[in-house]
Chains A and B, each alone.
Chain A
């Protein structure tokens, strides 16, 4: 027995087969010159496959960019030409241009021998990985071998499934928390306007499907308006003002706690939600939260959950 679900176009909604699991394999036929004692980030202008738009042949073609949060297996291969000078040949997987995820080191060799590096990583949508290598032969440069079977290869494969489940946002359930952030920092301004407000707190980027509604929930303890002019806080989606969470046209001397929610269906794509502070009259608007604990205000938080 089975339940089946269908779109308005009559297409059955189900988990894609493993053939379209997010995966990509990039290679190169271009000369890759590795300067002595300096890392070279490898560029890949060719692809064997890319099922989830993780690689671009032209723009930042050194990168495998994660589209779906999950666990990935990454593999890189290079072959340095035979050269018996120096001490090591290095091959690294780099995350977001800065963090070495995994490295392999092999000694110099008079014979060209393929070198590999692998890593299993948990990655968030938006992260990217690159392959880079280095040599200390004192010969500049050493050109990586491009012969058939030996050229640089960069592969990535998602291990924990590719499906967008029947109900919208990848891998989520109704009521599931999609993003959360909090801060105990104080924010105030006398100059930030409603059109150009001050950032208070933002979520991480969430990828949504355009049909799944969400609820954005905000809590701000210790809100006060020092003057009589229009001031407040608004909810922003990316560069769009979604509306006022709180506003006042008179002084709010004794701090108040603001709790607000908004249910809506975002457009398909990645979105960031922000609390932003503004004051239209030049008087001070502020929020003074805390870190929690006895006698201390709780932090500001912003939370996004799936509504249906």
Chain B
């Protein structure tokens, strides 16, 4: 088994609407340690919600929150993804950039 501390996803733009930010690889386990979401729009706040395998209420790891124009949000903790699970987002507009870091175990 290999343990690789890496930038699991991003920095990548989050599309307006629902999008998949990351799809895991079969037989891997991902321990997400940090997520950073930056609002590159200097004028408008943008809302986002995050979920595993979807953005319905039952999937959410972050409910709809607003990120200030030019501001950012940070998560420091532990969320795991297994195999081909996906990390998905729903953003109210384009302009957010997300970076996900953690441990990729295979």
Contact = CB atoms under 8 A, between A and B. Distances in A.
Given A8-B68, A8-B70, A13-B68, A2 B77 contact: yes
B77 A4 contact: no
Nearest to B72: A6
Nearest to A174: B64
Interface string B47-84: 10000000000000010111111111111111000000
B21 interface: no
Contacts of A1: 75-78
Is the interface on chain B under 10, 10 to 19, 20 to 34, or 35 or more residues? 20 to 34
A308 interface: yes
Contacts of A159: none
B71 to A, nearest CB: 5
B20 interface: no
A289 to B, nearest CB: 33
Interface string B82-96: 000000000010000
Interface in A4-57: 4-8, 13
A212 interface: yes
Contact of B68 (A2, A3, A4, A211): A211
Contacts of A166: 65-66
Contacts of B74: 3-4, 6
A7 B66 contact: no
B45 A212 contact: yes
A123 interface: no
A167 B66 contact: yes
A4 B45 contact: no
A2 B71 CA distance: 17
